[in-house]
Amino acid sequence: MISTKLVQVIEGHWEEIAARLIREVRKHPEMPNLSRQTDAEFREWCRTILENLGYLLSAPKDEEMGRFQVLGRTRFEENVPLHEAVLRLHILKDKIIGFVHEQGFPMSAMHLYAEEELELRIGRFFDACVYHVVRGYEGALARASRLAS
């Protein structure tokens, strides 16, 4: 069981997590292209994921992962290197998990179990996101190569 309370805390504090992501991306030396996005674009991207995290963690993967293939294609079309798109997902995952750990909930055995399970599910979700972003990016790259030849 995923702790509904932990997911609700994440969904309810998406703006704080988004701000943490924005600060990290802006100072990260490996993200010169994505760091040019506006704060509003970052916030909207985070909001779309974080406000719907409970649903995304429980939804059938095929239904929701198409949006991440589109994201991969979009990043290719914007000439954003693939490593930046993947790194942004990793940073968001890290910011979510760090936020949960900082909440100061009483550390009962049940809470520790719920937190560990949530971290596992978030990890699996973001692994799937990375896979689909790469698929979308590679598909766009292959199409561009065919058109160029």
The CATH classification of domain 4-148, taken from the options 3.40.920.10, 1.10.490.10, 1.10.10.10, 2.40.128.110: 1.10.490.10
Enumerate the domain spans of the chain.
4-148
The three-state secondary structure class of 78 is coil
Task: Take residue 88 and report the two structure tokens written for it.
Answer: 């942004």
Task: Take residue 92 and report the two structure tokens written for it.
Answer: 């968001």
Annotate 100-141 with DSSP letters as a single string. HHTT-----HHHHHHHHHHHHHHHHHHHHHHHHHHHHHHHHH
Write down the pTM of the prediction: 0.91
Half-sphere exposure of residue 112, counting CA atoms within 13 Å on the CB side? 3
Q: What is the pLDDT along the chain (149 residues), one digit of tens a residue?
A: 557 888 999 999 999 999 999 999 999 999 999 999 999 999 999 999 999 999 998 877 776 788 899 999 999 999 999 999 999 999 999 999 999 989 877 777 877 888 899 999 999 999 999 999 999 999 999 999 999 87
